Amino acid sequence: MIRSQKKIEFSSKRELTKTNNRSLIIASGINVFVDKGVAEATVRDIIRATGLASGTFYNYFKSKEEVLVAIFDDFASEIGENIRSQKHNIPKDFEDFLRIKISTFLNYINNKPEIYLIMSNNHNLVTNFSIATPQIILEIDYLKEEVVEGINEGIFPKIDVDLFALVTRPVVDTIAQEMILQKKLSIEECTDRCVNFLLKGFLGSK
Amino acid sequence: MIRSQKKIEFSSKRELTKTNNRSLIIASGINVFVDKGVAEATVRDIIRATGLASGTFYNYFKSKEEVLVAIFDDFASEIGENIRSQKHNIPKDFEDFLRIKISTFLNYINNKPEIYLIMSNNHNLVTNFSIATPQIILEIDYLKEEVVEGINEGIFPKIDVDLFALVTRPVVDTIAQEMILQKKLSIEECTDRCVNFLLKGFLGSK
Amino acid sequence: MIRSQKKIEFSSKRELTKTNNRSLIIASGINVFVDKGVAEATVRDIIRATGLASGTFYNYFKSKEEVLVAIFDDFASEIGENIRSQKHNIPKDFEDFLRIKISTFLNYINNKPEIYLIMSNNHNLVTNFSIATPQIILEIDYLKEEVVEGINEGIFPKIDVDLFALVTRPVVDTIAQEMILQKKLSIEECTDRCVNFLLKGFLGSK
Amino acid sequence: MIRSQKKIEFSSKRELTKTNNRSLIIASGINVFVDKGVAEATVRDIIRATGLASGTFYNYFKSKEEVLVAIFDDFASEIGENIRSQKHNIPKDFEDFLRIKISTFLNYINNKPEIYLIMSNNHNLVTNFSIATPQIILEIDYLKEEVVEGINEGIFPKIDVDLFALVTRPVVDTIAQEMILQKKLSIEECTDRCVNFLLKGFLGSK
DNA sequence: CATGAATGAGAGTTCATTCAT
DNA sequence: GATGAATGAACTCTCATTCAT
């Protein structure tokens, strides 16, 4: 029977990846969200691809939105670790600061492009959920504070912090999309592009 | 009853009713698309808000996508007129060029913020429809050529045209969203912000 | 406009065939019933093909079934005339009787094969309507009486009248279908086949 | 309430319910197809009569056509068994051959008259599905070959095989309908009638 | 009479969710 | 916890029919 074959297939996969049903559903969710978009995706789509019974879904999640949140949460916690591990990497100056943050960001999304695609294709959803996305690293509150600190400490120049908070994300975002979809530019090249442009944008002459 | 009121209001002339119903559906479509997003919106959502019978929808449109196209079409033709009226407004230099384009763009979306919201929240869809969106004014092919021309004529400085094509839209877009949603900044202020930032970004020192 | 073109087309047709809207609807009904079958046909299908407005249909008919009845009625009256013109054609014997009836029948359906197709493809409907169909010429009451008369007058042999009433129609029907659909056999050949087979069936010694 | 009664009746074992629901739908399908004809029948008609929820239908069938196929399949497999059990019943002569085939056929349809009615009222459909109908026993390819064989072996007389193939089905069909609908004649009487008539039709001297 | 837009019932179908096993 | 059939709300869309013009 096809059904049981599927089950077996997934069981072995489970064995291999040492994962459980929750992870199975999340993995399937990522695929479905990338393929069909979050709005068009259905719980059935997700559960179908796992080989699990439909009822099983509700042992783990209440809705597809909860899966989405879980996907982002998982990703966010990974990011968190990564960021913390960058903490001792203290920037010398503003350029260095930008370079560290942006290259970290680009590394993330290069490793998990699917999740990044879900986020950029469903921008409204992501905002509605106000989830800690990787973009957050480049965004308002958190980053802004660091910049303000840097300015106060005299390490950074006195830039327009609000403009910085507003503009950095979309610029890096666009270039990141270019990187993932066109696959022409390396992480280093993208980082350079972003840093150069932003630096000039905020500072005037380099 | 609301129903009969409507009937009385519109039913004097057949043609009038027809035009009104079309407008009614389009208006309702705009509301629904803004509220729920295009993907989540249903034909029933749209027709429900009009007070018309469900079948009536299909006298005017085949699907919600056709409503979307109609919304964009209406908007696009307005934009067309506006652009043409700007043709004799020849820029003195690159700053002037940016200022004209960006202020035109911001004026559009300030007049029809709902449509702009639909478009930016459903960027995929919009690209799929390849509709002439207001963003087009700020985008790749068309604008790029103008810049190249300007450079060749010696009016504009030699900037990185590809970076320009890539980065201008998202920067202006983000600031425009800020303008519409927060309603703190005037069109002039936003224009200034965009122009200043981009100018420095592309040129280095102003 | 496509619409008015259609109208004009049909108006000219109307001029040509000296027909009116009722005939137009009936003609369209025949086409639709042949193409889609009576059950699948809709009033919209019928009216669409006429170029008339949907409301106009109801000035002439209450439903598609009424159109069907009209189609059969028209046909039946033609048949009636034809039969009357055959009245002086008095059969010499049973073979002659069969030959006259069957050739008459085959002539009808050869002239109006569409209507015959409607009838044989919708046998249940036709029976439900108990309309005077061309098959009636070959059927129970009317024909049976003639046979009984013939037997009483000593012109026809003493055959099983009930078997005759039951079997004649389907036999002729099947061969008629063969004639119309395959178009290999002439009316004369079909008549011969039917007459020979039936004659032997009713009369023949084993 | 009928609803809860049903639930109580069937819900003891899951498998049982499943089998019963399938049977329920098929049984309802038979009724509806007989009553309204296949073309006029709707999925909702079928499911309505079962007392099940509308969605439940689609757990078992994709469309009413699939129900029809299931009905015929069930019947066909019964027929298959029956035919096989007749295999050793080798006919002595042509009359015997006709008698065996026809009585087998009449026995089938006498047991499942509803299904026979569906088939004869929807002859188009049946042909389109190319389903093994009971009529097949009396029809062209299969039977024709047997007759040709019989002729070659010298057991059967040299009859017009094409006429045989064409005429046998409608004759038996008509008498069968008479049998089912009027319920006056026994299977034996009908068999006699058919055999006698056909035999004379094919063999009889004029 | 002709027109054709409006109507709303109803068909097909999908889906999230429940719950007995 | 896992299962998967049952449920019925809700959606897309079509159609017969009405009725103001």
Band of the pLDDT at A131, cuts 50, 70, 90? low
Please choose, from the candidates A138, A127, A146, the residue with its C-alpha nearest in 3D space to the C-alpha of residue A191.
A138
Distance (Å, whole) CA A7 – CA A48: 11
Q: What is the pLDDT of residues A90-105, one digit of tens each?
A: 888 999 999 988 888 8
Q: What is the pLDDT of residue C90?
A: 80
pLDDT mean over C14-26: 71
Whether the per-residue pLDDT at D136 is higher than 60: the answer is no
C199 at interface of D, judged by CB pairs closer than 8 A: yes
**Would the Cβ of D108 be found within 7 angstroms of any atom in strand E?**
no
Instruction: Assess whether pLDDT exceeds 80 at residue C3.
Output: no
What is the C-alpha separation between B152 and B181, in angstroms, rounded? Answer: 39
Question: What is residue B3's predicted lDDT score, i.e. its pLDDT?
Answer: 38
Q: Are B95 and B200 in contact (CB under 8 A)?
A: no
Amino acid D91 CA to nucleotide E3 C1' distance, rounded Å: 70
Best probe of the D interface among C40, C167, C168, by most D CBs < 10 A, is C167
The pLDDT value given to residue C56: 95
Q: How confident is the model over C96-100, as a mean pLDDT?
A: 90
> Residue B64 has what pLDDT?
94
d(C-alpha B124, C-alpha A125), whole Å:
14
pLDDT at D78 over 80: no
Which neighbouring-strand residues pair with C205?
Answer: D205
Q: Calculate mean pLDDT across residues C168-195.
A: 86
CB atoms within 10 A of CB B2: 7
The pLDDT of residue D9? 39
SS3 D205: strand
Q: Residue C169 above 50 pLDDT? A: yes
Query: Exposed/middle/buried for B78, CB within 10 Å: 0-12, 13-18, 19+?
Result: middle
Q: How far apart are CA C165 and CA D53, in angstroms?
A: 48
Residue D4 pLDDT class (50, 70, 90 cuts): very low
Chain B residues touching residue A193 (CB < 8 angstroms): 163
**Which of chain D's residues 8-47 bind strand F, using a 7 Å CB cutoff?**
14, 17-18, 21
Write the pLDDT tens digit of every residue in A25-36: 999 999 999 988
Q: What's the confidence (pLDDT) of residue D43?
A: 96
| pLDDT value for D54 | 94
The identity of residue C156, as a single letter, is: F
The answer on pLDDT for C59 being more than 50 is yes
- Cα A87 off chain centre by: 19
pLDDT tens column, C114-125: 888 888 777 766
Residues 114-173 of C with CB under 7 A from strand E: none
Q: What is the pLDDT of residue C140?
A: 56
In chain D, residues with a C-beta closer than 8 Å to the C-beta of C205 are: 200, 204-205
Tokens of A137: 């690293």
Q: pLDDT grade, residue B139 (50/70/90)? A: low
Q: How far is CA C111 from the centre of its chain?
A: 9
Please give the structure tokens belonging to residue A26: 């999340």
Closest CA to B180 of B116, B94, B95, B136: B116
Per the CB < 8 A criterion, the answer to whether B174 and A166 are in contact is yes
Predicted confidence at residue D129, as pLDDT, reads 55
Q: Is the pLDDT of residue C136 over 60?
A: no
- Radius of gyration of chain A, Cα coordinates, nearest whole angstrom: 20
Region A112-136 average pLDDT: 68
**Residue C126 confidence (pLDDT):** 62
Q: Which of A57-71, B32-46, C112-126, D27-41 has the lowest mean pLDDT?
A: C112-126
For the range B128-134, what are the long-range contacts, defined as Cβ-Cβ under 8 Å and sequence gap of 24 or more? B129/B65, B129/B68, B129/B69, B129/B72, B131/B69, B131/B72, B131/B73, B131/B76, B132/B72, B132/B76, B132/B79, B132/B80, B133/B72, B133/B76, B134/B75, B134/B79, B134/B105, B134/B108, B134/B109
Chains that touch A (3 or more CB pairs under 8 A): B
In this prediction, residues D117-146 reach a mean pLDDT of 65
Chain D nearest CA to C206, separation (Å): 5
Burial level of B41, CB count in 10 A (0-12/13-18/19+)? buried
CA gap A96, D38 in Å, rounded: 76
Say yes or no to pLDDT of C78 above 80.
Answer: no
Query: Can you give the pLDDT at residue A154?
Result: 92
Residues whose CB falls within 8 Å of the CB of residue B114, separated by 6 or more in sequence, listed in order: B30, B31, B34
pLDDT(D25) > 90: yes
With an 8 Å Cβ cutoff, are C174 and D170 in contact?
Answer: yes
Chain B residue numbers with beta carbons less than 8 Å from the beta carbon of A206 are 204
Give percent of chain A above pLDDT 70.
78
CA angle B59, B63, B65 (to 5 degrees): 130
Which of B153-167, D67-81, D129-143 is most confident? B153-167
> Which amino acid belongs to residue B20?
N
Nearest CB partner across the interface for A174, out of B170, B175, B178: B170
CA D173 → CA B31, C167, D109, D138, D183, distances in Å?
Answer: 63, 10, 10, 9, 15
Report the distance separating Cα C41 and Cα D107, nearest Å: 36
A14 vs D185, which has greater pLDDT?
D185
Q: What are the beta bridge partners of residue D205?
A: C205
Is the pLDDT confidence value at C171 over 80?
Answer: yes
A95/C37 Cα distance (integer angstroms): 77
Closest by alpha carbon to B174, among D134, A140, A158? A140
C-alpha separations of D33 from A1, C39, D123 in Å: 33, 13, 13
Q: Which of A116-120, B22-26, B156-160, C90-94 shows the lowest per-residue confidence on average (mean pLDDT)?
A: A116-120
Measured in degrees and rounded to the nearest 5, phi and psi for residue D205 equal -85, 145
Please indicate whether chains D and B are in contact, defined as at least 3 beta carbon pairs under 8 Å: no
Q: Which residue is nearest to nucleotide E14 (CA to C1')?
A: D55
Q: pLDDT tens across D7-23, in order?
A: 333 345 666 666 789 99
Residue pair D105/D176 in contact (Cβ under 8 Å)? The answer is yes
Q: Between chain A and chain D, are at least 3 CB pairs below 8 A? A: no
Q: Which residue of A has its CA nearest to B117?
A: A124
Residue A189 has pLDDT above 50, yes or no: yes
Per-residue CA distances from C59 to C21, C22, C33 (Å): 10, 9, 20
B59-87 pLDDT per residue, tens: 999 999 999 989 988 877 777 777 667 76
Residue B180 C-alpha, separation from nearest chain A C-alpha, in angstroms: 14
> D86: distance to nearest CA of chain C, Å?
26
Across A46-61, average pLDDT: 94
Q: Residue D83 has what pLDDT?
A: 65
**Residue-range domains of chain D with CATH:** 2-62 (1.10.10), 71-203 (1.10.357.10)
pLDDT confidence bin for A9, thresholds 50/70/90 = very low
For helices D161-182 and C187-203, the axis angle rounded to 10 degrees is 60
List of E strands, chain C: none
**Is the pLDDT at B23 greater than 60, yes or no?**
yes
**What is the arithmetic mean of pLDDT over C157-162?**
84
Task: Assign D193 a pLDDT band (cuts: 50, 70, 90).
Answer: confident
The residue among A136 and A149 whose pLDDT is bigger is: A149
Instruction: Give the whole-number percent of chain C exceeding pLDDT 70.
Output: 77
Q: What is the pLDDT of residue A190?
A: 92
Between the CA of B16 and the C1' of E4, what is the distance in angstroms?
Answer: 14
**What is the share, in percent, of chain B residues with pLDDT greater than 70?**
78
Residue C193 contacts residue D198 (beta carbons within 8 Å): no
More confident position, A84 or B37: B37
Confidence of residue A15 (pLDDT cuts 50, 70, 90): very low
Coil, helix or strand at residue D111: helix
pLDDT for the residue A18? 42
Q: What percent of chain D has pLDDT over 90?
A: 27
Quote the tokens at residue B181: 């949603």
Per-residue pLDDT band for B205 (boundaries 50, 70, 90) equals very low
- Contact between the CB of B59 and strand E at under 7 Å: yes
A48-CA/E17-C1' distance, Å: 15
Point out the least confidently predicted range of C7-16, C98-107, D90-99, D178-187.
Answer: C7-16
The type of residue at A18 is K
Are the CB atoms for B151 and B159 separated by under 8 Å?
yes
Point out the residue among B178, B201, B204 whose CB comes nearest to the CB of A166: B178
Between B66 and C137, residue with greater pLDDT? B66
Q: b/e for B172-199, b at 16 or more Cβ within 10 A?
A: bbbbbbbbbeeeebebeebbebbbbbbb
Nucleotides of E under 7 A from a protein CB: 1-21
pLDDT of residue D109: 84
Is A150 near chain B, with CB under 8 Å?
no
B181 touches chain A (CB under 8 A): no
Q: Choose between C3 and C22: higher pLDDT.
A: C22
Asked if A54 CB < 7 A from strand E, the reply is yes
Per-residue HEC secondary structure of chain B comes to CHHHHHHHHHCCCHHHHHHHHHHHHHHHHHHHHHHHCCCCCCHHHHHHCCCCCHHHHHHHCCCHHHHHHHHHHHHHHHHHHHHHHHCCCCCCCHHHHHHHHHHHHHHHHHHCHHHHHHHHHCHHHHHHHCCCCHHHHHCHHHHHHHHHHHHHCCCCCCCCHHHHHHHHHHHHHHHHHHHHHHCCCCHHHHHHHHHHHHHHHHHCCC
